[in-house]
Amino acid sequence: MSTEMVGHPLARVIRWNLRARRVALARLALLQARFGREYADGPRPPVVPDARVFLDLRRVLACFSVRLGMHFGLVAIVAAVLLGDFDGSWSRQVALTPRVADRLALTRDTRGGEIVYEVGPIGIGPIALAARASPLAPALQRPRELAGSYQALHQLQAGETLGALAHRYGISLESLIWANGLQNGDALVVGQILRVPHISGLPHVVGAGETVKALAEQYAVPLEAIATFPGNSLDNELQVLPGVEIFIPGATRPLPPAWLQAMGGMEGLAARGAELAGVVRADETNLRTGPSTDHPRVAYLAAGRRLVLRARHADWVQVQLGALQGWVRSDLLILSEEHVAQLPETSDFPPAPPRWVWPARGTLTSGFGARWGGFHNGIDIANRAWSPIVAARSGIVREAGWCSGYGYCVKLAHGGGVETIYGHLIDRPTVSRGDEVAAGELIGYMGSTYDRAGGGYSTGVHLHFTVLVNGKAVNPLRVLP
């Protein structure tokens, strides 16, 4: 018997559990000994180039007779298998001719230029054997495995735009936006990590009770597109768990209209890149229509939101968050002084609407109207001496000091013909003529001074508060909150 019957493997034995390989290899070795002449009579099979381990008995047969050498080789192989001298990462090679394959009832199939033998259960577990039909046939190329739903995590650089990135990676601009939640309006910053999908589509976080079939119908895409997308890792049952993000290939969703308009449409979005930004320090930060606390609140901002910086005025910055625009006090944001210095100074904002606060705390001891046979043109608020008095509304100090009839007093002009008077202060006011004050700002302290020569009078510590509209006194309770 020729020794050429061994040493030319036709196929690699696929991986299986350790016990199955041991039993299968031992049985194959016995079959090899039994049908030795079948190997010799058949044509010499070509060598598989990428084989790693061969069952080579040439050295044994060179020293002993053919039959004795074959038996010794068989004993060595069986001993190695049973003693576990193979780790789980190895592949096995055996040489079989078509005649041997026929005797073993192997199924022969041709796949892409290769002859494939499918071996049924031999003891435990199936074994697959393959051989090239021709050494000139090209090897089959296995499609590249997709690791997850995203092909890259791209770190945004200065000068890069969303449109250029979408073109570079071969996906739609909308897919890049949805994959990173950019529709929420947060600023883009240098160094920000952007997820880049393999193909156009959008991510979806599975809700309670949702199924793959329902999602396919919702997004008008084939069920197979979701089920077979490698990044979704779905099993044959297509089970999806609530809260898990999956990727919907080919799906589309309209971008928020208000945000899209604020960004300048798709053209503006494509040109969008890294921007000067500030981060909100704390929850419920006020976004206002102008740079003062007198301007009304537009919205509450959550901590961590990234705001695009647009302009500055005094210690306030104008910001944008999606379709929202407004002003935030700079100390409420985490930002760079260098970035603030780059912002243009602006006075393009609406004037603060009237905002009234109570000028003092205490007891209302006298109302507006007729009193003691005369007319009381304001209200009296009583409290202890040195109780603070504040501006009831933002304005400019028209007079501060000793006033006829009131003693120490402050008179504020608020614009639009509106004026307020604060009388009977205990000492000189804390503001001076020409000062600009905000609503709630300290202007003096409560006392009981009055000017008898001017017709004034005071019976105790209190604040006299008057509101004039075009020079005519009105009831302060009509404007106070």
Q: What is the residue extent of each domain of the chain?
A: 3-132, 150-270, 277-342, 363-478
What's the pLDDT tens digit per position in 133-174? 333 333 334 434 445 789 999 999 999 999 999 999 999 999
Q: Is 297 helix (H, G, I), strand (E, B) or coil?
A: strand
Per-residue pLDDT at 68 exceeds 70: no
CA distance 34 to 329: 91
> For the residues 368-390, what does the mean pLDDT come to?
92
Please tell us whether the domain made up of 363-478 is placed in CATH 2.70.70.10. Answer: yes
* pLDDT at position 310: 96
Q: Kindly report which listed range (105-119, 182-196, 268-282, 452-466) carries the lowest average pLDDT score.
A: 105-119
Q: What are phi and psi of 360, to 5 degrees?
A: -160, 160
234 vs 46: which has the higher pLDDT: 234
Architecture of domain 277-342: Roll (2.30)
> What's the whole-number mean pLDDT along residues 413-424?
95
Residue 320 has pLDDT above 70, yes or no: yes
> Quick check: 323 pLDDT over 90?
yes
User: How far is 369 from 367, CA to CA, in rounded Å?
Assistant: 7
Both tokens assigned to 352? 């603060």
- Tell whether the model's pLDDT for residue 455 goes beyond 60: yes
Say whether pLDDT at 313 is over 60. Answer: yes
Supply the pLDDT for residue 34: 54
Specify the pLDDT at position 407: 93
Across the chain, which distance is largest between two alpha carbons, in Å? 143
- For the beta carbon of residue 227, count every other beta carbon within 10 angstroms: 15
Q: What is the token pair recorded at 195?
A: 């997820």
Residue 451 pLDDT > 50: yes
Q: How far apart are CA 35 and CA 6, in angstroms?
A: 12
pLDDT digits (tens, 9 = 90+) for 198-219: 999 999 999 999 999 999 999 9
Beta bridge partners of 195: 153
Would you identify the CATH topology of the domain 150-270? Membrane-bound Lytic Murein Transglycosylase D; Chain A (3.10.350)
What tokens were used for 170?
A: 């071969």
pLDDT of 271 = 97
Q: What is the pLDDT of residue 6?
A: 41
Highest mean pLDDT among 88-92, 116-120, 462-466: 462-466
Integer CA distances (angstroms), 334 to 304, 307, 337, 377, in order: 9, 10, 10, 49
Q: 181 in the Ramachandran plot: left (φ > 0), alpha (ψ -120 to 50) or beta? A: left
Per-residue tokens: 167: 């073109």
**Residues 6+ positions from 207 with CB-CB distance below 8 Å:** 242
Is the Cβ–Cβ distance between 307 and 187 less than 8 Å? Answer: yes
Q: Considering the chain, what is the average pLDDT of its residues?
A: 78
Contacts of 89 (CB under 8 A, 6+ apart): none
Determine the pLDDT at residue 71.
55
